[in-house]
Amino acid sequence: MNIMRVIQDLVTTKRVLGLQERKLRVLEDASGNVEVAVDPIGCRVGDYVLTIAYSAARIAAGDPKVTTDLTIGGIIDDWNEDKWHGRDPVAT
């Protein structure tokens, strides 16, 4: 699992049947890399989330037939953004 931040919703007008009608979100990791994930839990832009990748992502999406390799598995309730950027909040 990885910690990522939701940076925007992703709307698609056409998609493969394997994605069904799942919500999609654009996520960013601490290094600035951007990925798309299936969102079965309903997070919002700005939320820090736990992601589940690879074959486990299909199970986390609630249906092993969903065509995904990244699924949001949970919203983080309490997160220090300084840790996200690699700064030590105690030292500052």
Domain membership flag for residue 50: yes
Domain membership flag for residue 59: yes
Cα–Cα distance for residue pair 50/63, rounded to 1 Å = 18
Residue with more model confidence, 86 or 92:
86
In terms of residue numbers, what domain contains 20?
A: 2-78
DSSP for 28-71, please give it. E-TT--EEEEE-SS---TT-EEEEEETHHHHHHTT-TTS--SEE
Of the pLDDT bands very low, low, confident and very high (cuts 50, 70, 90), residue 20 is confident
Say which CATH number the domain at 31 has: 2.40.50.220
Number of domains in the chain: 1
Strands 34-38 vs 24-28: parallel, antiparallel or unpaired: antiparallel
Domain membership flag for residue 92: no
Domain membership flag for residue 29: yes
Confirm whether pTM is higher than 0.85: no
Nearest to 34 by CA among 21, 24, 22: 24
Domain membership flag for residue 90: no
